[in-house]
Amino acid sequence: MSDRSVPLFWRKSKQMYNLIGSECITCGTRYFPGRRICPQCRKEGQMHEFKFSGKGQVVTYSVVRDAPEGYELEVPYIVAIVQLEEGPRLTTPITYCDLDEIFIGMPVEACFRKLREAGDHGIIIYGYKFRPIKGAKPN
Amino acid sequence: MVGIVGYGIYIPRYRIKTEEIARIWGADGERVAKGLLVEEKSVPGTDEDAATMAVEAARNSVTQAQIDPTEIGAVYCGSESFPYAVKPTATIVAQAICASEHIQCADLEFACKAGSAGIQICMSHVIAKEMKYGMAIGTDCSQGKPRDALEYSASAGAASFIIGDDSREIIAEIEGTYSYTTDTPDFWRREGSEFPRHGSRFTGEPAYFAHVIAGAKGIMKKLELSVEDFNYAVFHMPNGKFPIKTGKTLGIPLDKVKPGLIVIRIGNTYSASSLIGLCRIFDLASPDERILCVSYGSGAGSDAFSFLMTENITEKRENSGVPTVDDYIEDKEYIDYALYAKHRRKIKKMM
Ligand SMILES: [Zn+2]
C-alpha cells in the first residue's frame, strides 16, 4: 500500500469509523456503503445520511489462514457477511471470536479497531470490525 | 459547579497471568505475584492500540453522559503509547464519536498522568465558559521489556470523562484539584526507543511516594478536608503495593483504598490506571460520598482531585446500559506467553 492511497482511505474514514450510509426517504431503503441515488426510486428518491446502530447477525463466514500483505499477524481470522438490523449486508472481519465459537446467525455488534498498517512507516487505517454480543441468543 | 457528566472505560479482553510470564524466565511466579500484587494483566488484541481503546472508552462516556457529541468543545488524549509519533490520536477519537469539526483537540504527554492533566484542562475551559463540555481520556498499551520487572505489570486500558458545569447533569462534582511537580528522572523513553527505562529503586521513595503523598496532602489542605472526610481513595497503581503503602502513610484505612485497586486483576494501565480505579468507585459510590484521586506521572508529578458524588449518578448508572468496570474485568480470555508475544508484536523482528 503506497502513501498515494492515503486520500482514498481518508475519504472513506467517516463511513468506516461510524457505519454511516444512506437512507432513501421516499421508499425507506437503507444502503451501506451510502449511495447518492436510490436504485429503486431513481429520480423520485431522496437520499440522506444514515447512521447504522452497528447491531446485526452473521449470514455466512469463512476463516482466513493465508493472509494478504499487512495482515500476517492477524491469521487465522474470520471474515463474515453480516446483515445489519436495518437491512443492508456488509463484509467484515469478526474480532474477539474464537474460530470454534462462530456460527451462522450469531448476533454481532460493531466495534472500533485497527484494520491494517501500511508497513512500519506508513499510515494506520482504523474502522469498524464486528464482535460477538456477549450472552446474546441467536434469533 | 464543575464536574463529571459521564465516564466510560475500556479494557481489552485478553489476560496473561503473572505466573505464566514468570514461567518463561524461570522465576517464582507466586512470589512475583505476591511481591507486586499483580495476579494477571490485560493484553490488547493484535488489532487494538491506544487509539482504538480511547475510542471505545470515549463512546461509552458519551452514551453514559446522554449528551449530543457535537456539543463537546475539546478532546484531550493522554498517553505514552500513542500509535503515531507525529499525528494526533485525539482527532481520531473526535471523528469516531461523531463530534463536530468546530472542536479543539490535542494529545497530552506526562507519563502516566497525561489523562488527569486533560481533566484539569477541561475543567478550566468549562469554568471559563469557553465550551459546554470537554472530553479527557487516558489511554495506554505500554510494553515492558521482556524479563524487565515492568513486563509483569505493563498492561492496556482506557478511561474517558466528559466534564461539564450543569448541576443537573453532573454525577460527581470536582471540588478542587491540586498538582505537585518536580524535575525527577525516574522513568523515561527516548525518541525511537521501543521500551522505557527506569531508575530502578529510584522510582519508589523520591518519585512515586513523594509526589503522590504531596498531592494528597496538598488537595486536602487546599479544600480544608481531612482523611476522615473521604469515603474512598484511589492512587496511581504501578503495582498493588505502592497505593496500599500510600494509603497507610496517609492514615487511610485499607477498605477505602481496596475498591479502586484494580491493578491486581488488570495490571498497570499507565495513563488509565488511577482513572479506571476512579471509575470503579463511580460504579459503586452513593450520592454525597467523597473520593480522593491522585494520579502520578514519572518525570515527575501528581494531580490530586476531590470528587463529591451527586444524586444524578444513580439514574445515569442504571439507564445508560454502559458496561461497568467489573463487566470489563470479568470478560476475559487467558493467553499463554507465545500468544502474548504475538499480541505484543515481540516476534515482529523475526518475521
Ligand atoms: Zn428509494
Q: What is the CATH number of the domain that holds B207?
A: 3.40.47.10
Query: Do A35 and A98 belong together in one domain?
Result: no
A&B contacts, CB < 8 Å: 48
Domain C-terminal end among A9, A31, A53: A53
The per-residue pLDDT for B350 is 41
User: Does residue B302 fall inside a structural domain?
Assistant: yes
Query: Do A29 and A59 belong together in one domain?
Result: no
Residue located via cell numbers 500510600? B246
- Choosing from B48, B56, B80, B169, the catalytic residue is B80
Look up the domain containing A63 and give its range: 1-17+54-139
Q: What's the mean pLDDT when you consider all of chain A?
A: 91
B253 pLDDT band (50/70/90 cuts)?
A: very high
Binary contact (B96, A17; C-beta < 8 A): yes
User: Does residue B348 fall inside a structural domain?
Assistant: no
For residue B110, the 8-state DSSP code is B
The per-residue pLDDT for A136 is 63
Using CA atoms, how far apart are residues B144 and B197, in angstroms rounded to an integer?
A: 9
Query: Do B15 and B95 belong together in one domain?
Result: yes
Query: Do A69 and A6 belong together in one domain?
Result: yes
Number of domains chain A is built from? 2
8 Å CB contact between B169 and B5:
yes
Using an 8 Å CB-CB cutoff, list chain B residues near A95: 45, 47
Q: Cβ of B169 under 8 Å from any chain A Cβ?
A: no
Please give the distance, rounded to the nearest whole angstrom, from the Cα atom of residue A84 to the centre of ligand 1.
Answer: 18
Using CA atoms, how far apart are residues A103 and A123, in angstroms rounded to an integer?
A: 33
Query: Do B190 and B134 belong together in one domain?
Result: no
Q: What's the mean pLDDT when you consider all of chain B?
A: 94
User: Does residue B319 fall inside a structural domain?
Assistant: yes
Query: Do B200 and B142 belong together in one domain?
Result: no
Number of domains chain B is built from? 2
Residue B105 known to be catalytic: no
Q: Among A112-126, B89-103, B239-253, which stretch is predicted with the lowest mean pLDDT?
A: A112-126
What residues flank ion ligand 1 with Cβ within 5 A?
A: A 24, 26-27, 38, 40-41, 45
Query: Do B18 and B153 belong together in one domain?
Result: yes
Residue B112 known to be catalytic: yes
Using CA atoms, how far apart are residues B15 and B68, in angstroms rounded to an integer?
A: 34
The per-residue pLDDT for A139 is 52
Query: Do A89 and A113 belong together in one domain?
Result: yes
8 Å CB contact between A63 and A47:
no
Query: Do B303 and B321 belong together in one domain?
Result: no
User: Does residue B349 fall inside a structural domain?
Assistant: no
Interface-testing mutation among A53, A69, A113, with chain B (most B C-beta atoms within 10 A):
A113
pLDDT reading at B351 higher than 60? no
- Residue A78, C-alpha cell as written in the block: 474470520
**Can you say how many angstroms the Cα of residue B257 is from the centroid of all Cα atoms in its chain?**
16
The per-residue pLDDT for A9 is 83
Query: Do A37 and A101 belong together in one domain?
Result: no
8 Å CB contact between A76 and A47:
no
